[in-house]
Amino acid sequence: MKKEYLIYKLSDEVKNSCKIDNELFQKYGVKRGLRNEDGSGVLVGLTNIGNVVGYEIDDEGKPQPTQGKLFYRGYELDDLVEPLLSEKRFGFEEIAYLLLSGNLPDEEELEAFRELINENMPLDHRTIVHIIDLEGSNIMNILARCVLEMYTFDPNPDDISRDNLMRQSIELIAKFPTIIAYAYNIYRHSEQGRSLHIRHPKEGASIAENFLFMLKHDDYTELDARMLDLLLIIQAEHGGGNNSTFTVRVTSSTRTDTYSSIAAGIGSLKGPLHGGANIKVINMFHHLKEQINDWKNIDEIDVYLNRMLNKEAYDKSGLIYGIGHAVYTMSDPRAVELKKLAGELAKEKGREEEYEFLKLIEQEGIKCLMNFRKSRKPACANLDFYSGFIYEMIGLPQEIYTPIFAMARIVGWTAHRIEELNFEGRRIIRPAYKNILDRKEYVPINER
């Protein structure tokens, strides 16, 4: 039998071997996707870190839509972001300190923490050589492989004591920006023939400033850096139930090493249904700019969006990317903040007309989606709706949109890993799957 035919035959047989009747899930009370019938998540753990509020439970125990809220260690996101905006200062390191420790730092603690991050940003020369050898277009894969390689350079890679976990966490938070910037510069050199620059991070600069410096030298503004800083804050944490953080908690529950657990989280975030969605939104936006003649004509916008929902236009997926969320109902607080940031940046970049068009797409996209579904359940724009537009205005390439998400979320991942390994009564996470196949009698090979 030819090998090519065997692969086809095995693949064809999967059609039957993977078939499970839908009614069986209801019969056995299976929570597909760890989601209840009303769309809420199945409660599988407790945490002190992040809290995602998208609905309220009424007296009958049913979820009711509400304005979305996001809390970091008990502090509402708005309360953390607004002072940074008004004072025009960088805050990602401050939020990282909060998420790791549970407390906001005072000035002395924050300064020491910034210095510690800055000291750990440079890469081992062996890692730099490794990134050069790995040259490729998928920065997420390179990031995951570099994280796994860090295991070999760590003097205590398998030590899960609290002190060692904190050391590893700080080193990962500090090194992610450097790995991503270097990997993209090497990709740009090998794929686009551009000059290759390996810039050493600057002392005294924030993570956002250093990332832009390593990536673009001096081709960025102070507002660009502050917008990136706020994007990192907004994406740093989203509770224990999001797919990548849950992946980190599941793997951490086995007591595997930090690098294996974080690499697993990167693999989860890479998926287009998780961290890769912002690219879907910005590509859709470019398409709509070309297809819709009058960017202020609501009727023309509605006609085209309805064609998309009916799988007649764009990529014929039936989706309006960036609209809807698994938890948030009336609003996503991250999208609310990003919408304001996008407006401020659009003024500096002279892209107000595009910004107003994007806001109309959000407004009409929600309306068209709810009418299409004939549902009273509200929908809202999610984090991804404005993030890609902000990245684009800052001048960042699409190849690093999802890696930047990882650069922010590494804070939440490490905080949840530390918590998973340090609460009393911890157990390996091991849910159940019910086998529904009837027993078969073994047939000798010469009788098959």
Distance separating alpha carbons of residues 178 and 429, to the nearest angstrom: 33
- If DSSP codes are grouped into helix, strand and coil, which group holds residue 205? coil
CB 360 within 8 A of CB 285: no
Q: Which two tokens stand for residue 61?
A: 């125990």
Which residues have a Cβ under 8 Å from the Cβ of 210 and sit 6 or more positions away?
118, 121, 177, 178, 201, 202
Q: Is 416 a catalytic residue?
A: no
Selected catalytic residue, list 238, 325, 332, 416:
325
- Kindly give the residue spans of alpha helices, DSSP state H, lying in 154-276: 162-192, 207-216, 222-234, 243-252, 258-269
To 10 degrees, what angle do helices 139-153 and 162-192 make? 140
Selected catalytic residue, list 274, 294, 315, 332:
274
Which string of DSSP letters, residue by residue, matches 226-246?
A: HHHHHHHHHTS---S-SHHHH
Q: What are phi and psi of 381, to 5 degrees?
A: -70, 145
Which residues have a Cβ under 8 Å from the Cβ of 267 and sit 6 or more positions away?
144, 247
Residue 306's Cβ-side half-sphere holds a number of Cα atoms within 13 Å equal to 11
Residue 299: count of CB within 10 angstroms of its CB = 9
Distance separating alpha carbons of residues 9 and 80, to the nearest angstrom: 56
Selected catalytic residue, list 257, 332, 384, 416:
384
Distance separating alpha carbons of residues 360 and 304, to the nearest angstrom: 13
Distance separating alpha carbons of residues 438 and 448, to the nearest angstrom: 19
- If DSSP codes are grouped into helix, strand and coil, which group holds residue 419? helix
Dihedral sign, Cα of residue 332, residue 266, residue 409, residue 431: positive
Q: What are phi and psi of 160, to 5 degrees?
A: -105, 25
Catalytic residue list: 274, 325, 384
